[in-house]
């Protein structure tokens, strides 16, 4: 991507994340402070029945409410809401970089800055890695097996850590209304469109190692499958 980037939009889908959302938004605040262009953070509150809306109100973010129980729909709604200019936010145009993370994750302070560096180098999209923040719910064998398998694969796709140009996102039709693997689906369509994807292991996002996740067939379910495999050995 060779356009001069003038602004960013970050979308965070949220479903009952009151225990972790503040940590997520604190991390994003630090990342926003490390770039010199305007950043709009859109928190999409999807069918929340806890205090997630109240927590989001404490931060400089745009809040969008949906009732879908669908992470693909929530991510898409966030980018759609940000499309039109609003107050000091320039909206989404050909010079906008888009990114998304998860409410149970914390991005590093240089997350956005390094994504922009990849964009400046000509990449259309960035797919980063994750690190589990707490393995206390699992045995050391599960942790070791996960980490060994993880390093053996060069390409990782996590909704907690992807970014892409607005032109590419529009070209492939954006996030589809999938209850899981909406991130994998999107990046595979990037590849089918011959986009240049940076498989970046230098900007890992810290993500929850909780036993019970929010999205079906999400990261928590993946860890549970590994635990079951280990128990059946």
pLDDT of amino acid 218: 58
Judge contact between 31 and 99, C-beta under 8 A. no
pLDDT of amino acid 130: 93
Model confidence, pTM? 0.88
Pairing of strands 125-132, 197-207: parallel
44-68 per-position pLDDT tens digit? 999 999 999 999 999 999 999 999 9
User: Which residue, 181, 209, 214, 164, is CA-closest to 44?
Assistant: 214
CATH 3.40.190.10 fits 7-133+155-204, yes or no: no
115-133 per-position pLDDT tens digit? 999 999 999 999 999 988 8
190-231 per-position pLDDT tens digit? 999 999 999 999 999 999 865 455 566 556 555 555 555 555
d(CA 88, CA 84): 11
User: Taking the domains of the chain in order of start, what are their residue ranges?
Assistant: 7-133+155-204
State mean pLDDT over 160-184. 97
Average pLDDT of every residue of the chain: 89
């Amino acid at each position: 991507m060779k356009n001069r980037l003038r602004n960013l939009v970050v979308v965070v889908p949220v479903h009952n994340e009151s225990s972790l959302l503040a940590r997520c938004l604190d991390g994003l605040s630090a990342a926003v402070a490390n770039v010199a262009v305007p950043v709009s953070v859109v928190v999409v509150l999807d069918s929340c029945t806890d205090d997630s809306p109240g927590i989001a109100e404490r931060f400089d973010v745009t809040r969008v409410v949906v009732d879908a129980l669908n992470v693909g729909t929530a991510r898409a709604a966030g980018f759609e809401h940000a499309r039109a200019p609003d107050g000091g936010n320039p909206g989404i145009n050909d010079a906008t970089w888009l990114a998304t993370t998860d409410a149970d994750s914390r991005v590093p302070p240089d997350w956005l800055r390094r994504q922009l560096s990849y964009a400046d180098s000509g990449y259309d999209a960035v797919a980063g890695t994750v690190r589990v923040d707490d393995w206390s719910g699992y045995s050391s064998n599960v942790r070791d097996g996960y980490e060994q398998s993880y390093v053996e694969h060069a390409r990782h796709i996590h909704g907690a850590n992807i970014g892409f140009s607005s032109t590419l996102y529009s070209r492939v039709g954006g996030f589809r209304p999938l209850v899981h693997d909406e991130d994998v689906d999107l990046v595979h369509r990037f590849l089918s469109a011959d986009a240049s994807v940076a498989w970046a292991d230098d900007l890992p996002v810290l993500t929850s190692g909780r036993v019970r996740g929010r999205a079906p067939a999400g990261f928590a379910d993946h860890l549970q499958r590994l635990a079951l495999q280990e128990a059946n050995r």
